[in-house]
Amino acid sequence: FSPDGHLLQVEYAQEAVRKGSTAVGVRGANAVVLGVEKKSVAKLQEERTVRKICLLDDHVVMAFAGLTADARILINRAQIECQSHKLTVEDPVTLEYITRYIAGLKQKYTQSNGRRPFGISCLIGGFDYDGKPHLYQTEPSGIYYEWKANATGRSAKTVREFLEKYYTTEEVATEAGTVKLAIRALLEVVQSGQKNLEIAVMRHGEPLVMLDSDTIEKCVTEIEKEKEEEAEKKKQKK
Amino acid sequence: MLFSEKTRTLDSILNADPVDSLFSDLLPTANNNLARHNFEVAPVKEATSFVKKWNNSCHENLKIKFNHGTTTLGFIYQGGVIVAVDSRATAGSYIASQTVKKVIEINPYLLGTMAGGAADCSFWERQLALQCRLHELRNKDRISVAAASKVLANMVYSYKGMGLSMGTMLAGWDKRGPGLYYVDNDGTRLKGKLFSVGSGSTYAYGVLDAEYDNELHDEAARELGRRAIYHAAHRDAMSGGFVSVYHVKEDGWEFVSRTDVAELHSIYKTDQFLPVS
Annotation marks residue B270 as catalytic: no
Instruction: Please tell me which residue of chain B has the smallest CA distance to A91.
Output: B147
Angle formed at CA A187 by CA A183 and CA A208, multiple of 5 degrees = 30
3-class secondary structure, A23: strand
In this structure, of A42-46, A77-81, A207-211, the range with the lowest mean pLDDT score is A42-46
* CA dihedral for A169, A174, A177, A181, sign (positive or negative): positive
Cβ-Cβ contacts under 8 Å, A72 against chain B: none
Angle at A211 between CA A205 and CA A217, to 5 degrees: 150
| Chain mean position to CA B209 | 21
Where helices occur in B1-80 by DSSP H, the ranges are 10-14, 18-23, 47-55
Residue A21, pLDDT score? 87
Cα distance from B193 to chain A (closest Cα, Å)?
18
Chain B interface includes A101 (CB < 8 A): yes
As a whole number, the mean pLDDT across chain A is: 88
**Which pLDDT tens digit goes with each residue over B59-80?**
444 445 555 688 999 999 999 9
> What is residue A231's predicted lDDT score, i.e. its pLDDT?
87
Q: β-strand A133-138 against A120-127: which pairing, if any? A: antiparallel
Whether B49 and B100 have beta carbons less than 8 Å apart is answered as no
Question: In sequence order, what are the residues at sequence separation of 6 or more whose Cβ sits closer than 8 angstroms to the Cβ of residue A11?
Answer: none
Look at residues B154, B163, B162, B102 and name the one whose alpha carbon lies nearest to residue B131: B154
**What's this model's pTM, rounded to 2 decimal places?**
0.79
pLDDT at B188 over 80: yes
**B154 contact residues in A (CB cutoff 8 A):** 88
Distance, in Å, from the CA atom of A114 to the CA atom of B29, rounded to the nearest integer, reads: 24
Using CA atoms, how far apart are residues A53 and A37, in angstroms rounded to an integer? 10
Report ipTM for this prediction. 0.77
C-alpha span between A223 and B181 (Å, rounded): 56
Q: What average pLDDT does the structure give for chain B?
A: 81
Q: How confident is the model at residue A222 (pLDDT cuts 50, 70, 90)?
A: confident
- Cα(B208)–Cα(B225) distance, integer angstroms: 8
Predicted local confidence at residue B24, as pLDDT: 47
Q: Which residues of B touch A101 (CB under 8 A)?
A: 27, 29
Strands B80-85 and B194-197: unpaired
Confidence category of residue B153, pLDDT binned at 50, 70, 90: very high
Residue B194: strand pairing partners: B75
Please pick, among B70, B72, B113, B168, the residue that the annotation labels catalytic: B70
A141 touches chain B (CB under 8 A): no
